[in-house]
Structure 1
Amino acid sequence: MVTAAEAVDIALVSMRDGYVQVSAFVAVTVLLFGLIQYRTGGALLRTIEENERYGPVFGALMGLTPGCGGAIVMMPLYVRGTVSFGTVVATLMATAGDSAFVILALAPEAALYSYALAFAAAIVFGYAIDRFGLGVGRVDDAVARLSPATTDGGVVETAGVAGNPGHEYGTDGPVHTHESGPDHESRVLTPLSHAAHVVWWVAAVAALVLGITYLVRGAPDVAFTFGLGFDGLFTVVGLVGTGLSVYLYGVGRHYIGEGSVGRVRESFASAYETFQHAAMETSFVTVWVIVAYLVYEYAIVLTGFDVAAAAAAAGLLAPVGGALIGLIPGCGPQIVLASVYAQGGIPFSALTANAISQDGDALFPLIAIDKKAAVVASIYTTIPAILVGVGLALVWGPVFGLPEFGFGVLGP
């Protein structure tokens, strides 16, 4: 039984860790993509949309970006009908997630091999889905009959966006009606929201520094305390950032920005607008990440299930366990798994299977926009993860003579 005090502690720690360990890195990659869009007038997005046959390659490249920002910006393109379902799956399969920062810092050689395998599998399987269907056609027909979900209560309408063979919506794709500006104007909440946005970026920069330091130190336990030391700043910045994210997502986006989240902008009129959009999208992801953290942490406390111990004790089934853990949305369980690998607790095959299976935080906007597609995509990423993982378990050590445990891990 969890006491009220324990439940509060879990909630506060989850909110703190979600922002520092995840949101700051998501913000950087989403902002980077936005700045490229701003500087090129939307050329990158148009290139992806106009070269559909290279969709899985583009998707895998975006997913391979450490963190989840690159993958996040690809998800709304599917609902718009401008990229195929195979591209979505390729993006999610290649997504390294925030666990990539742990492995890159502590086991760079293992990261190179693991993510290269994930990248190759993503392209092959993404093209296979588009070429052979694998049941996607029936799923897309079902999805097309549903009213596309919105994230802010707005109205969805069709307006001149052509569909594609990978995701049909009749002849048009869904476009959100909030295109010209925020939903409301207020003498109080509009300037307050702009101020919250600016402070949010201050917190994001501080969280990025703290997050990188945290990973370089080997992802140690951080005490929940307040002060000017590392642990104290980690807590303060995390809680402030989460609080501002909740405000921007729940209130601020109706008074600044476009009033909508979970979609890709064609281009940006100014650098400030680019930063604003990145903050709104990251706040949106932050809320979903916190929910996932809370569900995961409460489930662990209530059931006593030890994810790392189960994977380590599975033997040849370890990669299956790694792939199944990858089904859990978000990066929390994947960060745990990456940390355990760096400590020699799970084999390389399990790490690679998890790298292929995990969808990271990119699954959250897809869940919010198109739940059925999110479920199917998550299942599809797990199938090749198991195949590749079990294959590695059979040949990595016996054939290539490479250690399954501790491969590529830097010494103390």
Structure 2
Amino acid sequence: MNEALTVLLESLRDGYVQVSAFVAVTVLAFGLLQYYTDGAVLAAIEENERLQVLFGGLLGLTPGCGGAIIVMPLYVRGTVSFGTVVATLGATAGDSAFVILALAPEAALYAYVIAFAASVATGYLVDSVGLGVSRIDAAVARLSPAATPDGGTVVNGSVGPNPAHDYGGSAPTHAHETGPDRHSRVLTPLSHLVHVGWWLSAVAGLVLGTQYLLRGGPEVPIRLGTDFAGAFTAVGIVGAVLSLYLYVVGRHYVGEGEVARARDSFGSVYETLTHAAMETSFVTVWVLVAFLVYEFGVLLTGVNVATVAAAAGVLAPIGGAVVGLIPGCGPQILLASVYAEGGLPFSALTANAICQDGDALFPLLAVDAKAAIVATIYNFLPAVVVGVALHLLWGPVFGMAEFGFGVL
């Protein structure tokens, strides 16, 4: 029982200080960029047709799903090419990027540069030669006759409305302008108070997390006190609990009730802060789930995940790509967390980074399911090729070094 309690407290503490505090800074920086530029980034993408694929890949490369999500409505409106969608989704690592950036920054650098290069190359190939788009469209149409819009149309020449899409001018903007979906005389002010307290914890967690990294990532005992270990424990557990409250309750009374989504713009600095807190709380919850699943799994079963993954051989990167097919950030955060624990090879992480779309696929699925499916197919193929190639090339040269590569 004591060992289980220790695992729980360490997961709460480490997940918040080592991951969430750094996530908050990154999400806030991207939100402030959107707020202060007031759509300038999107305008640059729309006005530079030849560079759209490259810009889409760069937006997808930004940690979280925000950069990729804002590209999807542009395709629906007919202002960017399908290759741009493929490049954006392929370069996207979603919220799992925060986990790897915080716990294995060197691995993140290599994995996401590889994902970016592979995705941009695929995007340009789709726009230039099609890569069998019409055949894939026909196959998808047979599987899903209701998905009538043509997902594989390539926008060439003077960019204008895509004739394959007829949405009656109702393209989604994905801007949640309705605000909180509930109001309470007690929970509304309490949630705002928790929101402020959460940011205070985030600042303290960022300071402590930076000190932790500068000290070389030592083992920190669970205890309360005025020393580093005591502050590390107190801030981590309090921040994690506040994150759980914001995710489960507070998001309905502060800001937008729907998390893991990005707005096209923000109305004020406070809204930007709120969005960053909600997005980070979402990541915190899933990181906590991932840590607990992994730690308790090892504790109860004694199974060494790294040994299983090593025995899987070339199937490990293929498995990473298959997990990437699952929409949403939760499964991808779990996979990233297992990698950070040394349980998966670098090839599986990279394959997952290329194939996964985070939450960016949801807006496209809602309006043009066929386009979403076709884009996913295009991302899965390079993910498998690159992942298997890394396994075959990396393994013989470095042996087991690809397990735990870049982990702090």
Equivalent of 1:257, from 255, 258, 265? 255
1:11-410 mapped onto 2 (5 Å cutoff): 11-48=8-45, 54=51, 56-65=53-62, 68-69=63-64, 71-75=65-69, 78=72, 81=76, 85-92=85-92, 96-104=97-105, 108=106, 113-127=110-124, 131=130, 132-133=132-133, 135=136, 138=140, 172-174=170-172, 178-312=176-310, 319=317, 329-331=331-333, 333-338=335-340, 340=342, 350-358=345-353, 363=358, 383-395=381-393, 403=398
Name the residue aligned to 1:149.
none
Which string of whole-angstrom CA distances, capped at 9 and with x for unpartnered residues, describes residues 147-186 of structure 1? xxxxxxxxxxxxxxx9969998676334668514333444
Unaligned runs of 5+ in 1: 146-161
In structure 1, distance between residues paired with 2:291 and 2:357: 15
Q: Equivalent residue of 1:310, what SS? A: helix
Change (3 A) 1:357 1:291: same
Q: Equivalent residue of 1:363, what SS? A: coil
Q: Report the CA distance between 1:136 and its aligned residue.
A: 6.9
Contact 1:285/1:364 (<8 A) preserved: no
In structure 2, distance between residues paired with 1:200 and 1:142: 48
In structure 1, distance between residues paired with 2:373 and 2:295: 22
In structure 2, distance between residues paired with 1:300 and 1:164: 52
AA at the equivalent of 2:115: A
Q: Report the CA distance between 1:251 and its aligned residue.
A: 2.8
In structure 1, distance between residues paired with 2:201 and 2:254: 19
In structure 2, distance between residues paired with 1:291 and 1:231: 23
In structure 2, distance between residues paired with 1:228 and 1:374: 52
Q: Report the CA distance between 1:203 and its aligned residue.
A: 1.1
In structure 2, distance between residues paired with 1:220 and 1:382: 38
Contact 1:185/1:255 (<8 A) preserved: yes
Q: Report the CA distance between 1:234 and its aligned residue.
A: 2.9
Contact 2:332/2:358 (<8 A) preserved: yes
In structure 1, distance between residues paired with 2:6 and 2:146: 40
In structure 1, distance between residues paired with 2:356 and 2:385: 23
TM-score (structure 1 length as normaliser): 0.69
AA at the equivalent of 2:101: A
In structure 1, distance between residues paired with 2:35 and 2:318: 42
AA at the equivalent of 1:22: V
Change (3 A) 1:302 1:86: farther
User: Relative to structure 2, which stretch is displaced further, 116-125 or 167-176?
Assistant: 167-176
Name the residue aligned to 2:152.
none
Q: Report the CA distance between 1:204 and its aligned residue.
A: 1.2
Q: Report the CA distance between 1:312 and its aligned residue.
A: 4.3
Change (3 A) 1:227 1:164: farther
In structure 1, distance between residues paired with 2:238 and 2:104: 28
In structure 2, distance between residues paired with 1:246 and 1:369: 29
Contact 2:27/2:276 (<8 A) preserved: yes
Which string of whole-angstrom CA distances, capped at 9 and with x for unpartnered residues, describes residues 166-220 of structure 1? 9986763346685143334444333322221111111112222333344455545
Unaligned runs of 5+ in 2: 149-159
- Identity of counterpart residues, as a percentage? 50
Q: Report the CA distance between 1:32 and its aligned residue.
A: 0.9
Change (3 A) 1:353 1:225: same
Aligned length: 375
Q: Equivalent residue of 1:98, what SS? A: helix
Q: Report the CA distance between 1:245 and its aligned residue.
A: 1.9
Q: Report the CA distance between 1:36 and its aligned residue.
A: 0.8
Name the residue aligned to 2:155.
none
TM-score (structure 2 length as normaliser): 0.70
User: Relative to structure 2, which stretch is displaced further, 43-52 or 113-122?
Assistant: 43-52
Which string of whole-angstrom CA distances, capped at 9 and with x for unpartnered residues, describes residues 72-94 of structure 1? 44246537846755245313369
In structure 2, distance between residues paired with 1:255 and 1:403: 51
Contact 2:69/2:359 (<8 A) preserved: no
AA at the equivalent of 1:251: V
Q: Report the CA distance between 1:120 and its aligned residue.
A: 0.9
